[in-house]
Amino acid sequence: MFTNSKTAYNKAKKIIPGGVNSPVRAFRSVNSTPVFFESGNGSKMFDIDGNKYIDCVGSWGPLIFGHADKETVDSIISSSKLGTTFGAPTEIESTMASKIIEMVPSIEKVRMVSSGTEATMSAIRLARGYTKKDLIIKFSGNYHGHFDSFLIKAGSGAMTLGKPDSQGVTENIAKDTLVAEFNDIESVKTLFNKNQNKIAAVIIEPIAGNMGLVIPKNGFLKELKSICKENNSLLIFDEVMSGFRVSRGGAQELYNVIPDITTLGKIIGGGLPAGAYGGSTEIMDHVAPDGPVYQAGTLSGNPLAMSAGLSVLTRLNDDIYKKLENISARIHDGISSNIKETGVNANIARVGSMMTLFFSKKDCIENFNDAKNCDTNLYAKYFKSMLEMGVYLPPSQYECLFLSSKIDEDDINKIIDSNLNSLKKII
């Protein structure tokens, strides 16, 4: 079934570290070898062995309109005919900036970068420069990219490989990052009390998506905002995943909590590499060339990525979010019914079109420790069963499903039926 993929992987391992360009793709968390893909269309992906899958990952979020979306592809082609990069200003960068400012409540000015990691590392540098303080607080299990300051009790691939503290991160860098527990406001207060007037910012995934989907408790984000304000520290929302995904204005619109700085990625590139960070005019005017906080990038605001992203953002309206909610709710309800029917120890978390099935005896996953105690061996069996049935899921218990608006009635039924058969098979 995967003969060509295995051959391609063995070849790749000789010339690429681990055979992949991002660790979770190696499928080690599910005790398997990766599938190599050839093409995608709408809700479907096709591998190099000719197998077809319903895609429930969507390239980890950006493909809200599915694979090979005509409007997105047309925008990339049209833009490429004018030139692929200039290393100089283009008007489409300003058009994209205006669109982001229109949609995201916290942003008055925005700077484009080329990835989510660039966005978050730039955001904390800006926070330190603006507040003239050194320390940051992050949360266990939150992943903000592979920048040194964030690889401390991180989620995503670091969690998958069992190495949340990466080698190569120096002690001097690590000591400037304090770690709180997600959904535990007292752990945040304790850190502020122990480090008075030293904390520049708190950075958080307002909807945690890198230890599986973990939902913020009611009031948690608002309390976090209040604590930051009381201590003259900035609140940074990492909305690389949740931005434009859970609503037009992201998690901050959904929960009515306005951060000081927001980082974005995934959807704003329409499937091409892009990221951004933004906030109030006062804060953003500290970025060079207007201010003393330096950040630069040759391909920042790349015209192809801006064109692709704009083709997506301009179509995000109430109808699209209603459609995504309908698709996601039906899949959620179907899987919940299957869990009850089979009696398997599992629960499902969802916000909009982001979703995770956890194999756990707990009714709800609330933090990093809960996530770490999930049955990853059972998830591995479940993943492989679903893959064989033609449903492509995240190759790790610690990642989210991202559903597209192209998932149709037949897809929904197949996902639910395959889930039931897989649960029966593994218990």
pLDDT tens for residues 275-316?
999 999 999 999 999 999 999 999 999 999 999 999 999 999
On the question of pLDDT at 189 being above 80, the answer is yes
Q: Is 69 among the catalytic positions? A: no
The pLDDT value given to residue 155: 52
Q: Are 278 and 413 part of one and the same domain?
A: no
Place of tokens 């979020």: 61
**Among residues 313, 340, 356, which one ends one of the domains?**
313
| CA–CA gap between residue 238 and residue 262 (Å, rounded) | 6
Mean pLDDT taken over the chain = 95
Q: Is 382 among the catalytic positions? A: no
Catalytic residue selected from 47, 55, 69, 238: 238
**Among residues 262, 280, 313, which one ends one of the domains?**
313
The pLDDT value given to residue 1: 83
Tokens of 373: 């105690």
The pLDDT value given to residue 150: 78
**Among residues 288, 313, 338, which one ends one of the domains?**
313
CATH number at residue 282: 3.40.640.10
Catalytic residue selected from 109, 266, 384, 406: 266
Q: Are 25 and 74 part of one and the same domain?
A: no
Alpha carbon dihedral 198, 178, 22, 56, in 10-degree steps, equals: -110
Query: Are 34 and 27 contacting, i.e. CB atoms less than 8 angstroms apart?
Result: yes
How many beta carbons lie within 10 A of that of residue 112, not counting itself?
26
Q: Are 86 and 55 part of one and the same domain?
A: no
> How many domains would you assign to the chain?
2
Q: Name which of 223, 207, 140, 151 is nearest 180 in CA terms.
A: 140
Q: What is the 3-state secondary structure (H, E, C) of 92-150?
A: HHHHHHHHHHHHCCCCCEEEEECCHHHHHHHHHHHHHHHHCCCEEEEECCCCCCCCHHH
Q: Are 292 and 152 part of one and the same domain?
A: yes
Query: Are 268 and 302 contacting, i.e. CB atoms less than 8 angstroms apart?
Result: no
**Which residue segment(s) compose the domain that 141 sits in?**
70-313
The pLDDT value given to residue 156: 57
Catalytic residue selected from 130, 143, 277, 398: 143
Each residue's pLDDT tens digit, 357-369: 999 999 999 999 9
Query: Are 200 and 131 contacting, i.e. CB atoms less than 8 angstroms apart?
Result: yes
| CA–CA gap between residue 100 and residue 243 (Å, rounded) | 10
The pLDDT value given to residue 68: 98
On the question of pLDDT at 164 being above 60, the answer is no
Q: Are 110 and 152 part of one and the same domain?
A: yes
This prediction's pTM? 0.94
The pLDDT value given to residue 163: 45
Q: Is 138 among the catalytic positions? A: no
Q: Are 357 and 212 part of one and the same domain?
A: no
Q: Are 244 and 151 part of one and the same domain?
A: yes
The pLDDT value given to residue 161: 43
Q: Are 83 and 57 part of one and the same domain?
A: no
On the question of pLDDT at 172 being above 80, the answer is no
| Band of pLDDT at residue 162, cut at 50, 70 and 90 | very low
CATH number at residue 47: 3.90.1150.10
Q: What does R_g of the chain's alpha carbons equal in angstroms?
A: 21
Q: Are 287 and 367 part of one and the same domain?
A: no
Each residue's pLDDT tens digit, 392-418: 999 999 999 999 999 999 999 999 999
Each residue's pLDDT tens digit, 92-124: 999 999 999 999 999 999 999 999 999 999 999
